[in-house]
Amino acid sequence: MVGANEQSIFQLEAMIEVCNLEEIRIYDLDLGKAKKLENIMKKRLKPYSVKVTRVYTVDESLKDADVIVIEDSPQKWRFNINKVKKGSTIIHTGYIDKSESITYDKVSKIYFNSKETIPRKSRLNLGPNISGEIGSVLLGKIAGRENDDEIIVYESINMGLLDLMTARAVYVRAKQEGVGDKWDDLGNTSRHLS
């Protein structure tokens, strides 16, 4: 995890639900924020037996990582794509923009949620690396990963996965607090969650 903010909590919880993660390394320019996120995630992910560690450099967070999540703007991180191992998936939670911090011509494919989520300037600058919308991959309209060496970038802005994890967190908290309305399959409500 490159970048430690409030959204990082839910990004990591979503990742643990869909990936068999053995280790999570957290880096932020503000080492205090990275430490705080490390402590939060150690508690929240305890049932998963995943190792959660704060690291002190971007390179440490990238080393041998299968999945790399970049919170915030990639321009901020001085990200070196040469430090990413072959076969990795990079998930950006902001828009993709060509910058000195990431050399996109060294990645195999770039997918995004929808064309509207990437500024026109970025689409023009990134050229042939843009492979298409993630929905088209899921529907089999375009190819996804085609070999184990491809480095894939996925720009996840406006992706419902984080909304689902946020809703889950609100539900769990409401249930713990004994507040809220319970809905049955017909849309009828009763007070308090059980």
Query: What's the pLDDT at 92?
Result: 80
Higher pLDDT, 27 or 130: 27
| Residue 12 in this model has a pLDDT that exceeds 60 | yes
Q: Which of 194, 173, 172 is nearest to 183 (CA)?
A: 194
The domain in which residue 64 lies consists of: 6-191
**Kind plus residue range of the DSSP H or E element containing 191:** strand 189-191
Q: Classify residue 79: in a domain, yes or no.
A: yes
Residues 3-25 have a mean pLDDT of 87
- Which pLDDT band holds residue 15 (cuts at 50, 70, 90)? confident
Q: Classify residue 81: in a domain, yes or no.
A: yes
In total, how many domains does the chain have? 1
- The tens digit of pLDDT for each residue in 48-103 reads 989 999 999 989 999 999 999 888 655 555 667 788 899 999 888 765 555 534 55
Q: Classify residue 12: in a domain, yes or no.
A: yes
Query: What's the pLDDT at 192?
Result: 46
* 3-class DSSP state of 186: coil
Cβ-contact 114, 157 below 8 angstroms: no
- Which pLDDT band holds residue 166 (cuts at 50, 70, 90)? low
Q: Classify residue 179: in a domain, yes or no.
A: yes
Instruction: Please tell me the distance from the alpha carbon of residue 63 to that of residue 155, in angstroms, as a whole number.
Output: 21
| Residue 165 in this model has a pLDDT that exceeds 60 | yes
Q: Classify residue 1: in a domain, yes or no.
A: no
How are beta strands 181-183 and 189-191 bridged, if at all?
antiparallel
Q: Classify residue 50: in a domain, yes or no.
A: yes
- CATH number of the domain that 123 lies in? 3.40.50.720
Q: What's the whole-model pTM score?
A: 0.73
Instruction: Please give the mean pLDDT across all residues of the chain.
Output: 79
Higher pLDDT, 98 or 42: 42
Q: Classify residue 178: in a domain, yes or no.
A: yes
